[in-house]
Amino acid sequence: MENCPHCDAPLKPAARFCLACDQPLDETSRLSVGEPVQVAVGRPLVGMAAVAATLLVVGGIVWGGLAFIHHERTQSRDAVIADVEHGTTLLVDAEAGRSSACRRSTGVLAGPAQDVARQCRAIVGADPGATVSSIRVDRLDLEGRTGTARLRATIHDDSGSHTVDRQVDLVHQGRAWRMSWDGRSQI
């Protein structure tokens, strides 16, 4: 076994450099072994925490989006119910002889404002004294550009009480649903 000419450390057979002093043993070999380098190994808990945080953020965004859509849909359904109730009450008021109901009906009933007002004025006074005592709207079907709702109302007039139980048509105009009306008496 030979020793290093530079530091006198024992050498392995066919060595081209000294492992102790890192000096080449002949001029053709310029390889060297440096100090060991620390390799950072990722911490699995930090990685898992980052993945969990990302999933929570994405899940929160999805959950919030779904909640917003559900809220908008619920709000839309509530608005449709209120508009059908309001539109029915306005039409009964017009039939009872209250012409001021026609001015308020153009924002609730579907169609061009002039047509709605003209049709409403045509039924003013058709059933004097009519009033709505109860009204309920349910069974909404709001798919596409048209929809339907079930209207149940109790109407009192000079001849007594009448129950109205019918399906009303709805039209999606702009950003809201409007009650479609055929221009005839509701009672």
The full length of the chain comes to 187
Cα separation values, 42 from 4, 54, 132, 163, Å = 40, 18, 73, 75
In a domain, residue 55? The reply is: no
In a domain, residue 95? The reply is: yes
pTM (2 decimals)? Answer: 0.57
| CATH code: domain of residue 101 | 3.10.450.50
In a domain, residue 23? The reply is: no
In a domain, residue 124? The reply is: yes
**Containing structural domain, residue 156:** 77-179
Residue type, 162: H
pLDDT tens-digit map of 117-165: 888 889 988 888 899 999 999 988 888 888 899 999 999 988 889 898 9
| Token reading at 110 | 């579907």
CB hemisphere CA count around 27 (13 angstroms): 0
In a domain, residue 123? The reply is: yes
Do the beta carbons of residue 130 and residue 159 sit within 8 Å? no
In a domain, residue 100? The reply is: yes
In a domain, residue 105? The reply is: yes
Residue type, 139: R
pLDDT tens-digit map of 68-94: 665 455 457 888 888 889 888 888 999
Strand order in the sheet with 131-141: 131-141, 146-157, 160-173, 176-179
State the total domains in the chain.
1
pLDDT tens-digit map of 21-35: 888 887 554 445 566
* Mean pLDDT across the chain: 82
In a domain, residue 52? The reply is: no
